[in-house]
């Protein structure tokens, strides 16, 4: 076979194969572009999901912060009210209204008493895992006076918290009833709008204080219950340890 004929054969073969090679290149490029687009779409979807999750977490944290600030403000107002509390005169001349004011005074006096009995006590605790209980428990490190820093007898503190917890249970029920009554105690007793004005002015701050108390009381009740449980748990542990030592000594 001469050179010229061989050259023609090779040239023809190349001409025949070139379109197929070019078509294959086009297909390969299209697949690569499609895969790249899929990867970009997946990344974009992932970014949107992450941003949405981050935004949701930020909103949740912001909501929690505002809630905590609101609760702190309510607690501050509550304790200021108790510190400066003076019985409200029940002298409107309307029996139902005066009875309402008297009951509110009773509630506030109970809350003042609770604060006086346990408000000065500071219970220092930490959380740790207890092998025997197989659970995380609150351990009391110290019980002392917030005012003097002196140690407070744990048994006395436990008794004070127990009494306070029972008082708050009753107070919470009374608070709920009074809050509901506050909304219509004036309108149900006085039909003349002009006569109602001075009575409304007297009831309004009481209603406001009931609302603030309603925001704070569950938190205070929970705190007192936790301290009570921690002190009772510590006292029971000490009793068990003493009993074990006595048994060992025998």
Q: Please write the tens of the pLDDT for every residue from 114-128.
A: 999 999 999 888 888
Q: What are phi and psi of 128, to 5 degrees?
A: -150, 160
User: Would 201 be classed as within a structural domain?
Assistant: yes
In this predicted model, which residue has the larger pLDDT, 170 or 12?
170
Task: Tell me how many domains the chain contains.
Answer: 1
Structural domain includes residue 191: yes
**Strand-pair partners of 122:** 144
In a domain? residue 128: no
Proportion of the chain above pLDDT 70, given as a percent: 82
Q: In terms of pLDDT, which residue wins out, 238 or 129? A: 129
Q: Provide the pLDDT confidence category of residue 214 given band limits of 50, 70 and 90.
A: very high
CB 171 within 8 A of CB 107: yes
| 197, 187 contact by CB (below 8 A) | no
pLDDT digits (tens, 9 = 90+) for 11-55: 655 555 555 555 555 556 677 777 778 888 888 888 888 888 888
Tell me how far apart the alpha carbons of residues 185 and 175 are, in angstroms, rounded to a whole number: 15
Distance CA 213, CA 220 (A): 10
In-domain check, residue 189: yes
**Which of 51-55, 61-65, 160-164, 187-191 shows the highest mean pLDDT?**
160-164
Whether the predicted pLDDT of 237 surpasses 90: no
Q: Which residues of 210-241 are buried (b: 16+ CB within 10 A; e: fewer)?
A: bebbeebbeebbeebbebbebbbbbeeeeeee
Residue 80 lies inside a defined structural domain of this protein: no
Number of H helices, E strands in the chain: 4, 2
Assign 238 a pLDDT band (cuts: 50, 70, 90). low
**Domain residue limits at 215:** 95-119+154-249
Instruction: Judge whether 211 lies within some domain.
Output: yes
Identify whether 136 is part of a domain.
no
Is 104 a member of any domain?
Answer: yes
Mean pLDDT, the chain, integer: 83
């Amino acid at each position: 076979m001469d050179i010229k004929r061989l050259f023609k054969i090779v040239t023809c073969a190349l001409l025949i194969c070139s379109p197929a090679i070019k078509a294959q290149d086009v297909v390969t490029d299209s697949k690569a572009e499609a895969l790249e687009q899929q990867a970009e779409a997946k990344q974009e979807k992932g970014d949107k999901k992450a941003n949405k999750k981050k935004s949701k977490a930020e909103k949740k944290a912001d909501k929690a912060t505002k809630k905590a600030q609101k609760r702190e403000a309510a607690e501050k107002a509550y304790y200021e009210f108790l510190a400066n509390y003076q019985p409200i005169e029940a002298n409107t001349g309307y029996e139902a209204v005066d009875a309402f004011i008297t009951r509110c005074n009773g509630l506030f006096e109970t809350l003042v008493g609770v604060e006086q009995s346990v408000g000065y006590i500071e219970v220092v605790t930490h959380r740790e895992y207890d092998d025997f209980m197989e659970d995380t428990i609150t351990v009391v490190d110290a019980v002392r006076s917030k005012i003097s820093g002196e140690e407070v007898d744990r048994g006395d503190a436990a008794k004070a918290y127990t009494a306070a917890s029972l008082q708050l249970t009753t107070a919470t029920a009374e608070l709920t009833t009074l809050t509901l009554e506050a909304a219509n105690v004036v309108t149900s007793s006085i039909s003349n709008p002009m006569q109602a004005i001075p009575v409304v002015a007297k009831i309004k701050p009481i209603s406001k204080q009931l609302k603030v108390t309603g925001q704070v009381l569950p938190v205070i009740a929970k705190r007192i219950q936790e301290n009570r449980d921690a002190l009772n748990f510590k006292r029971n542990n000490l009793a068990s340890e003493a009993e074990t030592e006595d048994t060992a000594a025998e």
